[in-house]
Each structure stands twice: as structure tokens, then as C-alpha cells.
Amino acid sequence: MMQSIEILQPDPQGVLAKNQTHWGIVLLHGFTADPGSVLPWGQALATAGATVYIPTLPGHGTTVSDLAQTRAGQWRQQVQQTVDNMLMQNYDHIAVAGLSLGGTLALDAAAHRMVDATFLVNPALTFKPVDQLGVALSPLFQRIIPTVGPLAGDIQKAGVVEEAYDRTPVPAVVELAKLFRTVRRQLTDIQSPVTLYCSTEDHIVPPTTAKLLRRRLGPNLLRIVRMDNSYHVATLDNDAPLIFQDSVHTLLKLSGGGRSGTA
């Protein structure tokens, strides 16, 4: 299975670089998709002066059968190892960011590693009510029905396509449910600020994530930015410029002192 990491180098003329603050950012794509769904966001962050690591999550970017054999622990381990590698380098600050599943994994990393900021775009922590019964029964039926329809491509903007698998392996959905349970239990361990970019109309993820984060994150850690002109894959949708500009602005606001002074 491919587990590559694309590294976007910082523009030395970017606003973060001119502020003499070197951010290292781990940026994570969504379920069944690939780094292309977050690449424009990564490019915007690199243009601002951050070094951006975009890993291809295990089971992604290859075949549906690879994803069917992937376990939630592999996703978590890869992301945490990527953050560990960044923590050993000479960055002033570390951030984690992600779309959908990538947002879930960013929260998991923030609960276990010393990061300075977390950015989430429509992260998944629960399934839609209409899907919950199917998910609950999927361990019983996954050999009979090994795949279901695609989950990607929920984009309002005309003519934009998200590269992703055309089928969704049911065993991977079972792993997704395990990941959700694990991350929900760990939300109270997050100590750094979290920015949530939340679409008002999302056909993939239910609107319960914001409620969960409000209840379980520490006081004043969560900031919510509403997006009225995008569906689930907002990083490729009409509100993408809002995400790019706001995340850079937030990094600038957080750019005081070194990592030891902000974690």
C-alpha cells in the first residue's frame, strides 16, 4: 500500500516567513480520497511560509481492495509518526489539519501530541442517522456486500471533481466506526486551540460534530467558522478561499514565541 508523503516547501516571502515564524503543518485528506482534495489548501499554507506535509493515508491512492484491508490503527499510527518526525525538527510551531476523516485524525493527533493548533474542515465523528443501522450491521454483512457506493464528491461548485475511489469497502467503514469511538473518548485530552470550518449543508457528515466539540473541548479552545456556500469537500468548493485565508490569519495570530511557550 502506498504511504507516501508530499512535502510543500515554504515560500520565504510569505507572511509567516516574514514574521520569522516557521510552522510545520501535517495536512490530511478524506476517506476514500487522496491528497488532491487538500492540495490547494496546502499550497496556500506553503505560499504563506509554512512547510506542509501531506501524507497519503494507508489504503488510499491505490485500490479499493487495499483500503478494505486497512485498519484504523494504521491511519492513526502514520499520522502520529508524521507529527513525531516534525517535532524532532526545528519548527517554531506545529499544526495538524484535515478534511473529513483527515479532520478526525487531526483531532486524534492533537490529543496525543504537543501541537499548537488544529484546523478541521467538516470532520467526521459520527454517522448520519440514516446510515447508523447499516454501519452497526456491517460487520455481519461485509462478506456478502463487500462494497457500497462512493462517498466522495459532495461539492457545490460546478465542474469540480474530487479524485477518490468509485466504491467504498464495507470493512473500512467498520474501521471508521472504531476510529470515531476512539477519538470521541479522547477529545477532552486536547489542550491546543481548534478551528472548525463547518458547512451549513453537508450531505456526508451530520451536524453533530460541532456539538460534540463544544461539549468536550476545554473552555475557549474551539472556534467555529460557518460556510454557507460549500458542501462536504469545502477545500475544493466555493468557500475554499475562506478556509485558506482564515487558517493563515489564525497561524499569524498564534505566532508568538516558540513551541515550548504555546503547547
Active site residues: 100, 202, 232
Residue reference for cell 490569519: 249
Residues 16 and 251 sit within 8 Å (Cβ to Cβ): yes
The Cα–Cα gap between 83 and 86 comes to: 5
Q: Are 32 and 104 in contact (CB under 8 A)?
A: no
Residue type, 140: L
Strand partners, 29: none
With contact defined as beta carbons under 8 Å apart, do 123 and 204 qualify?
A: no
Q: Bridge-partner residues for 164, per DSSP?
A: 33
Looking at the DSSP bridge assignments, the partners of residue 93 are 23
